[in-house]
A = this chain, B = another copy of it.
Amino acid sequence: MFGSEKEITDFIQKTKFDGKGLVTAVVQDATSKALLMVAYMNDEALRRTLTSGKMTYWSRSRQQYWLKGETSGSFQFVKEVYADCDNDALLFKVDQQGSGACHTGQYTCFFNKVDGTIRDTSVEK
């Protein structure tokens, strides 16, 4: 639990979800500080994340809740949670379990460099 029931409810209420009911969730490794992934949450996914302590998203492609790690074992345990200055983006600092955040097997989803090379993210674990 991240704060009391009331604090969680207040946090969700002040979050500005977009026209599709979603907010951008930015996920950072709490230890290495590497940026792991960007995904989306609706209000219920945010509530599940804050009450369970495990990152839970809304999958736009599958149109369903997505408890990260449920099938892969690569859970993300929440350490700290922040909203930005206008409450339309959230930052989650997490303890990344397993091989990493990316479905490709990379530690972080951000491995495609602008010049076309691939960044080796295995060193950041």
Contact = CB atoms under 8 A, between A and B. Distances in A.
Interface of A: 2-4, 7-8, 10-11, 24, 26, 28, 33-35, 37-38, 50, 80-87, 89, 91, 102-104, 106, 109-116, 119
Contact of A35 (B26, B112, B113, B115): B26
A54 to B, nearest CB: 15
Given A81-B113, A83-B112, A85-B103, 14 more contacts: A4-B115, A7-B116, A8-B114, A11-B114, A11-B116, A26-B38, A33-B34, A80-B113, A82-B110, A83-B114, A85-B102, A85-B112, A86-B109, A91-B110
A73 B99 CA distance: 41
A91 B102 CA distance: 15
Contacts of A35: 26, 28, 35, 91
Contact of A3 (B34, B38, B115): B115
Contacts of A103: 85
A118 to B, nearest CB: 10
